[in-house]
């Protein structure tokens, strides 16, 4: 035991000296690395881009109320004809119809909002139409040199249970015979957009509304969709026609 103590005391001083030498060597290496990089940290600093350059879509304005006035009765007639054979009773019933539907997910052109009174499903032709609207939207923004934004899908397939919940909440547009119950119809918000590109350029919501309105007008004229301008709900109410 005494022998081990003598051995420890003998090398203790040398061990401390070795540790000090290693620390000095480490500090020297760090100093050399800093000098080779100009003495500055290379960790990128995240900064918010100041959006101070307002840019515009040069399209002509028009009356949304006059152009997008396809009534509920017209939309419901085509929805009940080409959509689901019957409205789903509840979420479980809607799930049993998924083979006839396509799930709608957020893309680079639109965001599926947090749906509280609908489920993200459409019949295939309506899903393709939504994608087509998104593609034309992106094309118009790009051709006019505008930053890329995404629009919001705020309502999709509703069940009878969803309709009753909306009616209890006092929503004036929650009619019992809703086009949303057939998977043919979706709502697009016209005053909320998500900017994707990080640039100083930005577009005002009213001008982005004009871009989205122009896309819908093109598709309406091509007899692909019916559109109702719902100003109290701040959305375009859209039903696919085929």
Residue 235 has a pLDDT of: 97
Residue 42 has a pLDDT of: 46
Q: How many CA atoms are closer than 13 Å to the CA of 5, on its beta-carbon side? A: 2
Region 228-235 average pLDDT: 94
Residue 63 to residue 200: CA distance in whole angstroms: 30
Ranges of beta strands (E only) in 170-224 are 185-195, 201-202
Q: If you average pLDDT over every residue of the chain, what do you get? A: 85
Please, which pLDDT band fits residue 38 given cuts at 50, 70 and 90?
Answer: very low
Region 205-212 average pLDDT: 98
Query: Is there a contact between 111 and 103 (Cβ–Cβ < 8 Å)?
Result: no
At 132-172, the pLDDT tens digits run 999 999 999 999 999 999 999 999 999 999 888 887 876 55
Residue 26 has a pLDDT of: 56
At 178-201, the pLDDT tens digits run 899 999 999 999 999 999 999 999
225-230 and 149-155 strand pairing: unpaired
Burial pattern 217-227, b for ≥16 Cβ within 10 A else e, equals bebbeeebbbb
The yes-or-no verdict on residue 1 having pLDDT over 70 is: no
Residue 41 has a pLDDT of: 40
More confident residue, 147 or 49: 147
Residue 17 has a pLDDT of: 52
Q: How many CA atoms are closer than 13 Å to the CA of 207, on its beta-carbon side? A: 15
CA neighbor of 101 nearest in space, from 87, 115, 120: 120
Contact partners, residue 34, CB within 8 Å, separation at least 6: 40
The yes-or-no verdict on residue 98 having pLDDT over 70 is: yes
> Above pLDDT 70, what percent of the chain?
78
Residue 170 has a pLDDT of: 64
């Amino acid at each position: 035991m005494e022998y081990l103590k003598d051995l420890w005391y003998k090398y203790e001083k040398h061990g401390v000296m070795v540790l000090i030498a290693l620390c000095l060597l480490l500090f020297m290496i760090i100093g050399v690395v800093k000098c080779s990089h100009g003495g500055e940290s290379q960790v990128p600093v995240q900064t918010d881009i100041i959006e101070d350059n307002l840019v515009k879509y040069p399209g002509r304005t028009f009356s949304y109320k006059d152009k997008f006035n396809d009534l509920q009765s017209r939309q419901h007639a085509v929805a009940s004809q080409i959509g689901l054979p019957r409205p789903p009773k509840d979420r479980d019933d809607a799930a049993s119809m998924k083979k006839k539907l396509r799930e709608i997910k957020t893309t680079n052109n639109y965001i599926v909002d947090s749906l509280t009174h609908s489920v993200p499903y459409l019949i295939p032709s309506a899903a393709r139409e939504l994608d087509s609207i998104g593609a034309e939207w992106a094309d118009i923004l790009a051709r006019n040199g505008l930053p890329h934004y995404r629009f919001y899908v705020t309502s999709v397939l509703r069940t009878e249970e969803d309709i009753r919940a909306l009616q209890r909440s006092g929503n004036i547009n929650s009619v019992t015979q809703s086009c949303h119950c057939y998977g043919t119809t979706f709502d697009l918000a016209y005053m909320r957009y998500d900017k994707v590109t990080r640039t100083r350029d930005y577009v005002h919501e009213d001008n982005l509304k004009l871009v989205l309105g122009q896309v819908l007008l093109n598709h309406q004229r091509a007899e692909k969709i019916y559109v109702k301008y719902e100003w109290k709900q701040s959305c375009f109410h859209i039903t696919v026609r085929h």
